[in-house]
């Protein structure tokens, strides 16, 4: 089977997704199968249990129906091929067709894959302006509103811009505080998943989603998160948060009362799980905590 020319030098989800897509193309063409069924973009998540790997992908589950190949079989083909690629420490099939990946971690500068996220620096002496007058350094802002909030609002600012901030807003636990809003969305996802687990509802990522609010969340989840641009990454997380809020108002993911769980509930639980992973990974890359409870 021809080896793709794509090589990973640092782990950015978009780079890893491109490698998986290229390998999947090689796998299918090598077996005489059409590649039209492959999704244009490969989604990547973080496994709930870190011991299961650094990343996981459901590309086999998404592509299998169009190929008339069992998802577990397609996942096995992908795992076998990915496992021998430079920079991939291991690739294993999980569940009905997921592929869990571990990436090689070596010292920076040797051209190998490293799972260490780029740390975006916020100089302590960086100055912001305050609404109503006055200024604060980044260090003073962190002391006033907390490290996580300070990092998020400073990293979301456009490069070269001097943000104008309201200390009272940033100190509050309200949706007007963008850091709280994104982190709170993560906690709500975690709470829903805990409740789903209590009810014995297993996520079903291959079930159909067709409600406009479901598709809105799915669109953001499947969109590659910006790499190397913290302002765009922060706003990507805000877009997902806004889509989740609209989804929550009209698309219940859990049954109520004596209602039995349906495939729709299972699909929505899987969607919320995917959204949680995107939020957690994005916050991690910004070096902002992603609490499970607030």
Q: What is the mean pLDDT of each run of 10 residues along the chain (294 residues)?
A: 42 75 90 86 77 84 89 91 81 88 56 43 87 92 93 91 93 95 95 92 80 94 82 95 97 93 92 90 86 86
The full DSSP string for the chain is -PPPS---SS--HHHHHHHHHHHHHHHHHHTT--STTS-SS---B--SSGGG-SEEE-HHHHHHHHHTS-HHHHHHHHHHHHTTSTTEEEEEEETTTEEEEEE----TTSS----SPP-----TT-EEEETTS-EEEHHHHHHHH-HHHHHHHHHTSPTT---EE-HHHHTSSSTTSHHHHHHHHHHHHHHHHHHHHHTT----TTS---SHHHHHHHHHHHSPPPSS-HHHHHHHHHHHHHHHHHHHHH--SS--TTPPP-HHHHHHHHHHHHHHHHHHHHHHHTT----S--
| Comma-separated ranges of CATH 3.30.1360.70 domains in the chain | 13-103
Which pLDDT belongs to residue 47?
Answer: 77
pLDDT number for residue 233: 93
Model pLDDT, residue 51? 67
The reported pLDDT for the residue numbered 8 is 41
Q: What's residue 224's pLDDT?
A: 80
Domain(s) labelled CATH 1.10.730.10 in the chain stretch across 124-294
What's the CA gap between 253 and 231, in Å, rounded?
31
Note the CATH architecture for domain 13-103.
2-Layer Sandwich (3.30)
pLDDT value, residue 112: 34
3-state DSSP assignment of residue 60: helix
Domain topology for 124-294: Isoleucyl-tRNA Synthetase; Domain 1 (1.10.730)
């Amino acid at each position: 089977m021809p080896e793709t020319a794509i090589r990973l030098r640092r782990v950015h989800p978009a780079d890893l997704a491109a490698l998986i897509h290229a390998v999947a193309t090689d796998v299918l063409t090598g077996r005489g199968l059409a590649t039209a069924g492959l999704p244009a973009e490969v989604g990547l998540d973080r496994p709930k249990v870190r011991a299961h790997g650094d990343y996981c992908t459901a590309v086999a589950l998404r592509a299998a129906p169009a190929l008339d190949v069992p998802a577990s079989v397609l996942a096995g083909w992908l795992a076998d091929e990915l496992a021998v690629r430079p920079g991939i420490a291991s690739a294993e099939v999980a569940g009905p067709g997921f592929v869990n990946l571990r990436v090689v971690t070596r010292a920076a500068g040797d051209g190998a894959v490293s799972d260490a996220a780029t740390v975006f620096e916020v100089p302590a002496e960086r100055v912001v302006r305050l609404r109503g007058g006055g200024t604060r350094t980044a260090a003073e802002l962190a002391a006033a509103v907390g490290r996580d909030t300070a990092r998020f609002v400073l990293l979301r600012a456009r490069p070269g811009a001097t943000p104008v901030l309201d200390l009272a807003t940033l100190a509050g636990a309200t949706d007007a505080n963008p850091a709280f809003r994104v982190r709170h969305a993560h906690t709500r996802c975690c709470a829903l998943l805990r409740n789903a687990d209590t009810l014995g509802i297993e996520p079903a990522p291959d079930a159909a989603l067709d409600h406009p609010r479901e598709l809105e969340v799915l669109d953001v989840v499947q969109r590659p998160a910006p790499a190397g641009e913290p302002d765009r990454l922060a706003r990507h997380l805000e877009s997902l948060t806004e889509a989740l809020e609209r989804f929550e108002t009209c698309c219940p993911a859990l049954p109520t009362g004596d209602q039995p769980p349906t495939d729709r509930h299972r699909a929505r639980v899987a969607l919320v799980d995917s959204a949680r992973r995107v939020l957690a990974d994005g916050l991690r890359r910004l070096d902002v905590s992603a609490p499970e409870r607030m």
